[in-house]
Structure 1
């Protein structure tokens, strides 16, 4: 274990991109360090030097559900807000980010494009349909009535019962659909500022058969010249399909037609009732066969592991030995709570289990369809990409900050409900890109050099190799060593040439305006020679004077949270943690993956800030504190073929 506390400044944050631990070099380590190199250690670098922070999933008032909830903010406002400007929310509240983002993807729903603005305006074409009139009246009533109306729209959408008249008027081929796509594309191009802020053209493909969430967000590497040669796909028949292979076909056609490039990101497997990561012979729309695994591996290099609708890294039923797996889990049912969850569904929903299942499918097909990088996003429907607990504008306009917002359930049906206090103020994606441009950030997603956080801007480096040692930590420039001797997060380990076990260089730095760090963990998953899927969580670096027990587990860090003042103090924990860790249980014959989880010390959840600001009482069973975290993309090991 190696740890170190230090006062943090903006310059220290920049140092985190190249190193963490500061130890006097040994003579052996220093010898030859500067041989045949320029005097400046920063010259001639080609690797990414700082994480770029962004959101891969945000909706404006152009989305059918966001508009029905009352969101009147269009893409221009969303882009300006992400870049750091103060704006006024749909409920009339001034709002601004604590720190601007570096990039973003706007992902308005493609189904019924153009419908939401016409609904808000009460256009005759909308009011001519009985359902359109009902939704309009709910929207005009606002507040809880708008929420009920919007969820009725969502239910009709997920059950495939949208009125035919509205489908015809707001699907591909209709003027309103084409106009809205042009608006989205042109707004992104207006706000794209290469080198300073990257605005991606994107959309959400909203597959939700039976209310089971199979949504994918799509991000284009390209500008309007290519994007306007196509219109995005939809899921409502007869204009589209909920089968993911139809989306893959669209992506293939997009690249062939335009010469552009695109990727898709799945999200909220925890609301898919087991359908997000299939392994059986059949899945929704087809078979898990060679074509399926190859297409998914090609088009989905990234997974949205945490967001407003729950954290999807792990679940205590699947990982009973992981004391931190029970974090912001949403395990009640599907998206509209028309079907409740069973334990058997969970294996097809969570990222860690999917990574394990991917090893099994790779053994069978030679391709791993679940070889994804990790990312976080908001999925906010307010046009406001807020993920800080003290600045959280929630999921939708109907539950923007107010004394009563926690009283409104996210969803309620005859079978159950997801209460309002369970909404999660999450998350963001950090990208290790060489520059702040569409091409560089997109390429980082393709190589999976990304990591997720639940909101804090934690600095995280993770390298894997075969010969890292403690001496490699005796520098403030570990990235130089990491890229030279190993591979970064999101990669495959280089071929094994000795009898060594894999070693990993890990460095984490707290958010400069956030909480100290509790610990760094390595999560390992592997496929045994007998075909069993296994996992283990290792505490590898931690703060304060704690000692691991005989099983390697480190005691809880404690808590400094004051609920009455919605505050905490950094008198426990560490500002930075770093180590070189070697797998003590490595079997060269077994496929494996490794990823890093970084935990902060406990801090208040957003509902505690609401309690302080509004003087409200919180539900007796509400979770008041949590440990925010970061998840690196994995590094994979594949045995050599004999």
Structure 2
């Protein structure tokens, strides 16, 4: 039975609420044998002896600074040092000369500048004689120095040249790149403060296979500079094939003894390649490929500034929340899509297809957790709608971004207003250290949001009871009776008829109340067809499902003219225990939670209210329904 609340709590109460930490004994019976897995000395205090994560650590795993070639060419002058200071709460100056600061510091961050030509473009801009000997680099130098539209054009040309493997040789010197990498790791090392802030080493491998088909991956290191400096980062001049990236990762671990993982970018710009059943060069995938992808890529970037790729509305017409910040016209170079591509670009389709491939290969290559990030190229990670700093400097706050272009390739444009103020990653780590955060990523105990800081717990098991949703601290019972997000359901005990799930959400005190919690199930039926279903499991107010089984809309309090809203609808928190009513023990399945906020003003509304000269077209969206996506929990019927 779902519990839905309409009470209003003060922000201070919400900030201190233990709802997402543990649970007291009034929330169900705890098996004494199981509780010892998590408590050293069970007793009166529900907080003593805890050895599981007790709060989400918020951070960014995908940010570019002036050390990325395309970012510098477009005018970004915020470097990795400034970016990390900003993430820790400092006020910095943006590339357009404006002061900027986070509302709340992050707990961790990864600066992921492109490995291709990392840090080299500054030499082009400064007129290094070695660089100026190349006519193309001289032209780019002149355009960057001129600035404005000329600099934007240089940025587009660099993106195209990188995607086509045509960057001049002076920009791809391996020795220069390795020296710059060691400077990068030195900067990151200087900002790492275990227990306070984790500065994590990483970079982006930026395969644009076939001319703009985005197969980018972020490489996230568990360890420190000593390990990372032993192997030069892989570039697309080495290879554009993901399987060769995985081989590089294996070689890195073999040589250094360190650990590393890869996070694929949003697949909606891959033109059908991100989750294809063929490799980019046209070969069919096989069991070895599936095993490697499953090992090296435990997570997927489900939402970011260039679109959210949870599910496409054309693939799930009954999902009223699927049409959210969709970019579906083309690839990174805005090369138009062809029929059939979209189904290989979205997370939910891949999660379902992974179940089919596991039957074929014995390994599920798409068994990934979900997270979010910005992919900003400004050195500024910004996800709040009233504090959004765009993709490149030309899309930083100003009246001109109401009509500007985020991308323009030979007249194929994407408007600035299509950019989303997304997203963030929450990690359920036991402590704020690189190793603990990386370990949580590896086991997929993470979730992504579209920028808001919703608190979210999601557990799956076989023995949850309705009374387990009555307490203030559900994680005690969640860990004791089940597995957290990212996990596999344990075998069903004798007499169990269906898995059940404990899910709890807490609003971001700086954002809107919660509309509802949904659990989304995917499976492959007995005929081999991929299926999905969405269940509303908790919602605010006294709404009742209609004849179609759907809960009616929560309403809308947004005043677009003033970019304001009220939290007079929705709920500050929701919690439920839900059992799958359609469970078939013979069919493998996955489940994940999606939490939806009430409508709030989009960044475009804040711009329109702030800038007198803003000129957004009538069809530009002015509201947004922020959301959180848990990593899935998987059920396997076994043999």
- Whole-angstrom distance in 2 between the partners of 1:630 and 1:64: 32
Give me the CA root mean square deviation: 2.0
The CA deviation at 1:20 is: 9.3
- Whole-angstrom distance in 2 between the partners of 1:122 and 1:11: 56
1:212 is aligned to 213
Q: 1:255 aligns with which of 253, 256, 276?
A: 253
Whether contact under 8 Å (1:359, 1:592) holds in the other structure is yes
In the alignment, structure 1 residue 103 sits paired with structure 2 residue 101 = no
Q: Quick check: 144-153 or 49-58, which moved more? A: 144-153
Whether contact under 8 Å (2:205, 2:218) holds in the other structure is yes
The CA deviation at 1:285 is: 6.5
In the alignment, structure 1 residue 604 sits paired with structure 2 residue 601 = yes
Whether contact under 8 Å (1:215, 1:266) holds in the other structure is yes
Q: 1:124 aligns with which of 100, 124, 129?
A: 129
Whether contact under 8 Å (1:457, 1:510) holds in the other structure is yes
Whether contact under 8 Å (1:393, 1:400) holds in the other structure is yes
Whether contact under 8 Å (1:517, 1:599) holds in the other structure is yes
The CA deviation at 1:29 is: 5.7
Alignment map for 1:413-562 (pairs within 5 Å): 413-414=409-410, 416-497=412-493, 498-562=495-559
CA deviation map 1:97-141 (0-9, x unaligned): 000000011101001123221122121222221211221122112
1:158 is aligned to 163
The CA deviation at 1:555 is: 0.7
1:14–1:256 Cα change, 3 Å? farther
1:308 is aligned to 305
In the alignment, structure 1 residue 589 sits paired with structure 2 residue 567 = no
State the TM-score, normalized to the length of structure 1.
Answer: 0.95
Whether contact under 8 Å (1:340, 1:415) holds in the other structure is no
1:214–1:31 Cα change, 3 Å? closer
Whether contact under 8 Å (2:30, 2:480) holds in the other structure is no
Aligned pairs, how many? Answer: 629
- Whole-angstrom distance in 1 between the partners of 2:4 and 2:541: 9
In the alignment, structure 1 residue 228 sits paired with structure 2 residue 242 = no
- Whole-angstrom distance in 1 between the partners of 2:479 and 2:580: 20
Q: 1:334 aligns with which of 318, 331, 334?
A: 331
Q: List alignment gaps of at least 5 residues for structure 1.
A: none
- Whole-angstrom distance in 2 between the partners of 1:132 and 1:102: 39
2:173 is aligned to 171
Partner of 2:458, secondary structure, is strand
Q: Quick check: 119-128 or 316-325, which moved more? A: 119-128
- Whole-angstrom distance in 2 between the partners of 1:104 and 1:605: 25
In the alignment, structure 1 residue 68 sits paired with structure 2 residue 66 = no
Whether contact under 8 Å (1:275, 1:284) holds in the other structure is no
- Whole-angstrom distance in 1 between the partners of 2:253 and 2:165: 30
- Whole-angstrom distance in 1 between the partners of 2:288 and 2:295: 11
- Whole-angstrom distance in 2 between the partners of 1:30 and 1:358: 34
The CA deviation at 1:481 is: 0.3
Whether contact under 8 Å (2:19, 2:504) holds in the other structure is no
The CA deviation at 1:417 is: 2.1
Whether contact under 8 Å (2:125, 2:144) holds in the other structure is yes
- Whole-angstrom distance in 2 between the partners of 1:285 and 1:191: 43
1:274–1:219 Cα change, 3 Å? same
The CA deviation at 1:25 is: 4.3
The CA deviation at 1:221 is: 0.4
CA deviation map 1:35-80 (0-9, x unaligned): 9832221101111000000000001101110110111121110110
1:144 is aligned to 149
- Whole-angstrom distance in 2 between the partners of 1:363 and 1:283: 23
Partner of 1:410, secondary structure, is strand
1:457–1:412 Cα change, 3 Å? same
CA deviation map 1:446-473 (0-9, x unaligned): 1000000001100000000011111112
1:31–1:133 Cα change, 3 Å? closer
- Whole-angstrom distance in 2 between the partners of 1:100 and 1:48: 20
The CA deviation at 1:166 is: 2.4
CA deviation map 1:563-617 (0-9, x unaligned): 1111110000000011000001000011100001100000111111111111122
Whether contact under 8 Å (1:525, 1:536) holds in the other structure is yes
Whether contact under 8 Å (2:20, 2:456) holds in the other structure is no
The CA deviation at 1:500 is: 1.6
1:77–1:204 Cα change, 3 Å? same
Partner of 2:292, secondary structure, is helix
Whether contact under 8 Å (1:16, 1:508) holds in the other structure is no
Whether contact under 8 Å (2:402, 2:615) holds in the other structure is no
The CA deviation at 1:413 is: 3.4
- Whole-angstrom distance in 1 between the partners of 2:402 and 2:23: 42
2:348 is aligned to 352
The CA deviation at 1:408 is: 1.8
Q: 2:91 aligns with which of 60, 68, 86?
A: 86
Q: 1:638 aligns with which of 624, 630, 636?
A: 636
1:416–1:533 Cα change, 3 Å? same
Q: List alignment gaps of at least 5 residues for structure 2.
A: none
Q: Runs of 4+ in structure 1 displaced over 6 angstroms?
A: 30-36
- Whole-angstrom distance in 2 between the partners of 1:545 and 1:605: 27
Alignment map for 1:624-635 (pairs within 5 Å): 624-635=622-633
Q: Quick check: 192-201 or 148-157, which moved more? A: 148-157
Whether contact under 8 Å (1:309, 1:424) holds in the other structure is yes
Whether contact under 8 Å (1:431, 1:451) holds in the other structure is yes
Partner of 2:405, secondary structure, is coil
Q: Quick check: 299-308 or 610-619, which moved more? A: 610-619
